[in-house]
Chain A
Amino acid sequence: MISKLPRKGIDRIRWLLVVSVSGLLLAMLLPAVAQEASEDLPYIPTVLITGANRGLGLEFTRQYVDRGWRVIATARRPDAADDLNALAEKHPGLVIIEQLDVQDFDVIDALSEKYADTPIDILLNNAGINGGARNQMFRKLQYEAFDEVLLTNTIAPLKMSEAFYENVLASQQKKIVTVSSSEGSIGGATQPRLYFYRSSKAAVNMLMVNLALQLKRKGISVGMVNPGPTDTDFMAGLPKSMLRSPTDAVADMIRNIDGLNLETSGTFWQYDGTIIPW
């Protein structure tokens, strides 16, 4: 629930009174508190990254922690996430690993309850699946694969945004970012392939554009980034010469995320900073 504002007349007036009085008190107290806090501890921004155990998610974790950020790094199986665990050992307190399968919305809700009072500067929806090319060939379409691709790539990012909305709102940077794909560009399609993967990305782009408009008034910016073809497990088997390094891909996406603000909210960025057409 976003709005807890009571709807009935008396309740509402009473509630507003309480809010304004407590707001006034807070406003008087806050500068002192903030000043004190800033003397002791500088603000450490937090990013929550889904699918942080490998590939782009792992590299995002590495680069954000190198910047001195705190990373809530989620993975389906933390016990099997060796590289991520090593990173967490190297940066105690800055890399926090959490178990999360983005397909399981109950677990998303439980995690958001656990972090109820933690500001999250960037919610980074990185987890994604391709659904398997052989499931997506016309005349042999495997529709169960479509459900799974839609669940992970399309609605999990929106569910995460819904669940961690308050955390993002309470932060300084207030950004929700989804790793999309240029394969999701309808106008950019020149060869038929990956029916499910592509439509899951077109669909998530649509959701994020709606979300950008929805949250603008709240000061939250929403963006989509594209890594380009990258040398990760996701693209396993391709000749290396066709692929970019995860280091470059993530550095490029982080630069675009840095450039995300309320004015550019709702933009779908190519890794080189150009805009990808829908």
Chain B
Amino acid sequence: MTKPHDDNEQSHVDRREFMAAAAGMAAAVLAAHETNAAGHASTPANFAPEDRVARPVSAGSRILITGANRGLGFEFARQYAELDTRIIATCRTPDKATALQELAADNPGIVIEKLDVTDLENIDELATKYAGEPIDVLLNNAGIGGGAENQIFGKLNYPVFFEVMSVNVVGPIKMCEAFRKNVEASNLKKMITVSSSQGSIAEVMMPMLYWYRSSKAAVNMQMVNLALQMRRRKVIVGLVTPGATATDFIPEPFRSRIPSIRQPEVAAADMMRNIDRFTLENSGSYFNYDDTVLPW
């Protein structure tokens, strides 16, 4: 884990550019300080009545799902297909995704696309292919856990950190960048990322999964920024969590040690209900599977 020494590291930082951001940063810090002292939150944004109305996915909605070959992604595809939606189901190796292929054979609304979310060029290519086509819900589902054994203090495996970040953080934000116009052109205008309650810093009770947890805190931060960014364009950004689910994501022997483990069909249904709840007003929220809002 060695990077070449870069003597010019600071020189590429354009100070004038940074100035604008830093000015906002300083102002925000000072403003936050003042509002805290005054005991009230910052001024809420103004929303039109329609911005407060939750519009659910319905027949004809178009949904792009990453990592749709198995686990929660497959469940999303299966259950959304039952609603007569049109689905772009992506996975790294469609040839091996037999369950997804069978599902697509029974549902003409499903199109399978090859996509590795860590391959940014691959994302751009897919976006080019779908240019001009509205996508109602961009569903960033693909994610990795990184392996618990790589995330133990004292023997941390640092290269794995970057793998986890690449799939769980860079993948989702890059997808949002690439498919921004498709979502903007749609009816529902939602960019949803499957996060995890493990990403809640406030809820950490035991030390574990350093990489996975920090990737989810990081993606939460990016999506909150994106929610603020896209508000003017009426694009809704949301975070949902599945809860501990019995998929390949939680391998044995861990899976059978979690008494509260949930079935993927239940977890996906819970997230779909929460995806429907998102409006422009609550954009940027972190909805747990039980409909509560998780603390950051």
Contacts and interface: CB of A to CB of B under 8 A. Distances in A.
14 contacts: A1-B155, A105-B1, A129-B10, A130-B13, A130-B22, A134-B14, A150-B165, A191-B24, A192-B228, A199-B169, A210-B208, A213-B205, A213-B206, A237-B22
Contacts of B58: none
B25 A206 contact: no
B120 A203 contact: no
A214 B222 CA distance: 27
B183 interface: no
A206 B16 contact: no
B207 to A, nearest CB: 4
Interface of B: 1-3, 5-7, 9-10, 12-30, 32-33, 36, 42, 120, 153-156, 158, 161-162, 165, 169-170, 173-174, 176-177, 180, 199-202, 204-208, 210, 213-215, 217-222, 224-226, 228-229, 295-296
B225 A143 contact: no
Interface size range on A against B: 35 or more
Contacts of B19: 236-238
Interface string A185-196: 111111111110
Contacts of B29: 182, 228-229
Nearest to A193: B21
A135 B236 CA distance: 24
Contacts of A2: 153-155
**Which secondary structure characterizes the binding site on chain B?**
helix
A238 B26 contact: yes
Q: Identify the 3 closest CB pairs spanning chains A and B, nearest first.
A: A2-B154, A237-B19, A229-B26
Interface in A239-258: 239, 242-243
A213 B204 contact: yes
A158 interface: yes
Contacts of B158: 105, 155, 159
Contact of A132 (B13, B33, B42): B13
A91 B207 CA distance: 40
A230 to B, nearest CB: 9
B210 A192 contact: no
Nearest to B208: A210
A237 B5 CA distance: 27
B156 A188 contact: no
Nearest to B199: A206
Given A106-B2, A213-B205, 14 more contacts: A103-B6, A133-B14, A186-B217, A186-B221, A188-B32, A190-B32, A194-B25, A195-B225, A199-B169, A202-B220, A237-B16, A238-B22, A274-B36, A278-B296
A189 B228 contact: yes
Contact of A209 (B28, B154, B176, B201): B201
- Chain A CB count within 10 A is highest, among B156, B169, B200, B222, for B222
A242 B23 CA distance: 8
Contacts of B296: 185-187, 202, 277-278
Contacts of B215: 203
